[in-house]
Structures are given as C-alpha cells and as structure tokens.
C-alpha cells in the first residue's frame, strides 16, 4: 500500500457522477482534490452548487485550461461521451493516469463505437491501449493501465450477474436475456422532457429495445469471459426512482450445476459482490449509496431456466464508486479504501 497522497483532478464536476465522485473522494484518506472543472460554472464554489459538500470540499470550479490537470496523478472524466477522447492523449503524455466514466474507451471495435455513439472517434490509438476496468475480471490489467475505461451502469449489473454462468459454460450462451431497470439519475443531470418529474413519476417504460448503446459493451465483456461469441437480448427500462439498477437475467441450463455454490465460489473474496442466501430477492435500496452489487440466483420450479437478480446503485458501483475502486487498484491501495459506506435505509 502506498502512503503517497494522490493528487486528483475531475473534469466535469457538475453532473451526478461528478458530485458522487466528490462525495467519495472527499472521504478518501489518500486523495487530495486539486481541481474540479466546469466551463459554465468556473469561479463558483463547489459547495455552493452541492451543499452536501460544505466543510468537505473548499475548491471552486475552474476552467479546464487553467486547472493544471497535467500536474495531477490521476484525472477522472465525469463528462458526456466524446469529451475524454479529445483530452486524454495530452494527459497520458504528461504521465497522468486517466479514468473515463463515460464510454469513449469502452468498446474496442472503434467502428462499432462510432455506430452506437454517432460520432467520429478522436483518439482510436488509446482505445487499443485502454483497459476495460471491471475489477472482478480485469484486476491485473487495471494495475498496469494508463487509461481506464470505467464500465457503464447497466453493463456492470448485467455482467456481474451473468459471469459465473458464462465462465463455467453451464448455459446456452447464444440465448441470454437481460431485463434491466434504472432510476432516472442514469440519464444524467440535464433538462430533458422524459426525465421531468411529471413525465417519469408514476410511470414505467422500456426504451432502446431495437439497440441500446450498452448492448455491445455487455456483449464484448461476456464474449471475453466465455471465450466465444454470446447472443444477448438486452431491454432497459426507466423506473420512477432516483438511484438504482435492478437486472433480472435469464439463461437456459445445458447441464446440472449447483448454482448457489457456483456463485459463492466465483465471488468469494470479492469486497463488493454479495451473493445472497438461496431464495433471496435483493432490493435496490439495499445498495443505495454503497459500492456493492448484490446477487441472488434462482432455478424456478427446478427447471432448466436460471434467473439471476442483480442490483447496484447506478451512481456508485455503476459509476463513481467503481471508478474509485479502480483508482485504488491503480495506486496499490486496498480495494475498499474510501468505499466502506453502508447503504442507506429506508
């Protein structure tokens, strides 16, 4: 474990993942916040926008060009898709580690990325180098990385739920189904009609059924885990809550297996994956504000269909918490450093 103070910069500190990063890093014993950028809010005290940080963060938002990001040890990008790819090269060349919470470096096939994200990639050479940083799979690669592609929220819940099945080869990997629901904070902190209170409250809907941009990210990860191509139907839904993802996953067994033992063995020793007792039904509120994924596995009526229930907080294990977990791995710290918060109930 390093005793060094890690100098941290955050690009895009005014969104939900940005303020969640600030909440976590302000409590991290080995991190010192150096700069938090926002072109629009430059000069404003961070705690004026986010009063929960009063007494914890005394910085002001700064212009990116004047933030001295190249003097940091690590820079987080809590920005919309397409921003990190414009700025990462200069930081990497200056010896700064980059952790991107958006999708710029997640998909290794740049043509597929451009198809789903509807823009030309500005830095394809870093895509080839970047590490897709789901710690429960890629811990060794993360330790040596210069560019971290922090996984998406849906992909985290879905991959962690499916991993033991596809790794063990006990299911038909050509016909996987992920039925996932997210709170509205997953859409970001911006003004859009579909996330207005009067639109999202008392409502429940699917979206992105023909092809959601997280689909290729999930398929890429599961294909790597299985060692051969997988087929996935992924259907996301918007739920009238602020935080949380609940993924209900379906697969067809191809051989008999003790599912509970399979999951408990796969995640034994993992700080942030909790395999619940047989028969459990994890709830999103059980992970609210915490960097945990809680999983339960079922075999209804003893048939050949496996049902996996996977819940995370989309802003923590699905974004900022996982990014801090990756920072800990990068800098040789215990993985749970600064991440021991207990979930909020009720």
**Can you give the pLDDT at residue 3?**
60
Instruction: Using the predicted structure, report yes or no on whether residue 4 has a pLDDT greater than 90.
Output: no
**Can you give the pLDDT at residue 190?**
76
Which CA distances in Å does 123 have to 59, 63, 97, 134, 214? 31, 23, 16, 22, 20
At 169, list the tokens: 């080869």
**Can you give the pLDDT at residue 198?**
85
Q: Which residue of the set 31, 123, 153, 293 is catalytic?
A: 153
Is 170 annotated in the active site? Answer: no
Mean pLDDT, the chain, whole residue set: 95
Confidence of residue 173 (pLDDT cuts 50, 70, 90): very high
Q: What is the percentage of the chain residues whose pLDDT exceeds 90?
A: 92
End-to-end CA distance of the chain: 35
Q: What is the mean pLDDT of residues 61-68?
A: 91
Of 170-179, 196-205, 297-306, minimum mean pLDDT range: 196-205
pLDDT digits (tens, 9 = 90+) for 212-247: 999 999 999 999 999 999 999 999 999 999 999 999
Confidence of residue 1 (pLDDT cuts 50, 70, 90): very low
Instruction: Using the predicted structure, report yes or no on whether residue 327 has a pLDDT greater than 60.
Output: yes
Instruction: Using the predicted structure, report yes or no on whether residue 150 has a pLDDT greater than 90.
Output: yes
Q: What is the mean pLDDT of residues 197-210?
A: 91
Cα–Cα distance measured from residue 168 to residue 306, given in angstroms and rounded to the nearest whole number: 14
**Can you give the pLDDT at residue 196?**
83
> What stretch of H or E contains 233?
strand 232-238
**CA of residue 293 relative to chain centroid, distance:** 11
pLDDT digits (tens, 9 = 90+) for 276-319: 999 999 999 999 999 999 999 999 999 999 999 999 999 999 99
What are the chain's domains?
A: 6-129 (3.40.50.720), 154-314 (3.30.360.10)
Confidence of residue 13 (pLDDT cuts 50, 70, 90): confident
**Can you give the pLDDT at residue 97?**
98
């Amino acid at each position: 474990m390093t005793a060094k103070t890690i100098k941290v910069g955050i690009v895009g500190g005014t969104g939900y993942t940005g303020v969640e990063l600030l909440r976590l890093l302000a409590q991290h014993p080995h991190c010192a916040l150096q700069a938090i950028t926002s072109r629009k809010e430059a000069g404003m005290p961070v705690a004026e926008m986010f009063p929960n940080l009063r007494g914890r963060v005394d910085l002001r938002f700064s212009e990116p060009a004047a933030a001295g990001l190249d003097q940091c040890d690590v820079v987080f990008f809590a920005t919309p898709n397409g921003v990190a790819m414009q700025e990462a090269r200069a930081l990497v060349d200056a010896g700064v580690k980059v952790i991107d919470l958006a999708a710029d470096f997640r998909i290794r096939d740049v043509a597929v990325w451009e198809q789903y994200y509807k823009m030309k990639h500005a830095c394809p050479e870093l895509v080839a180098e970047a590490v897709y940083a789901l710690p429960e799979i890629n811990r060794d690669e993360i330790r040596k990385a210069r560019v971290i592609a922090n996984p998406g929220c849906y992909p985290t819940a879905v991959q962690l739920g499916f991993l033991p099945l596809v790794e063990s080869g006990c299911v038909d990997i050509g016909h996987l189904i992920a039925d996932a629901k997210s709170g509205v904070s997953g859409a970001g902190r911006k003004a859009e009609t579909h996330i207005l209170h009067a639109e999202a409250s008392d409502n429940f809907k699917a979206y992105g059924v023909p092809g959601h941009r997280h689909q290729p990210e999930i398929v890429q990860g599961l294909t790597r885990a299985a060692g051969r191509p997988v087929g996935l139907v992924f259907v996301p839904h918007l739920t009238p809550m602020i935080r949380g993802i609940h993924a209900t996953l379906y697969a067809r067994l191809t051989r008999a297996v003790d599912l509970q033992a399979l999951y408990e063995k796969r995640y034994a020793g993992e700080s942030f994956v909790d395999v619940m007792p047989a028969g459990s039904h994890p709830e999103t509120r059980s992970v609210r504000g915490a960097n945990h994924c809680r999983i339960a596995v079922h075999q209804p009526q003893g048939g050949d269909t496996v049902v996996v229930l996977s819940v995370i907080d989309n802003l923590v294990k699905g974004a900022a918490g996982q990014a801090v977990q990756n920072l800990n791995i990068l800098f040789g710290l215990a993985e749970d450093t600064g991440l021991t918060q207990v979930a909020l109930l009720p």
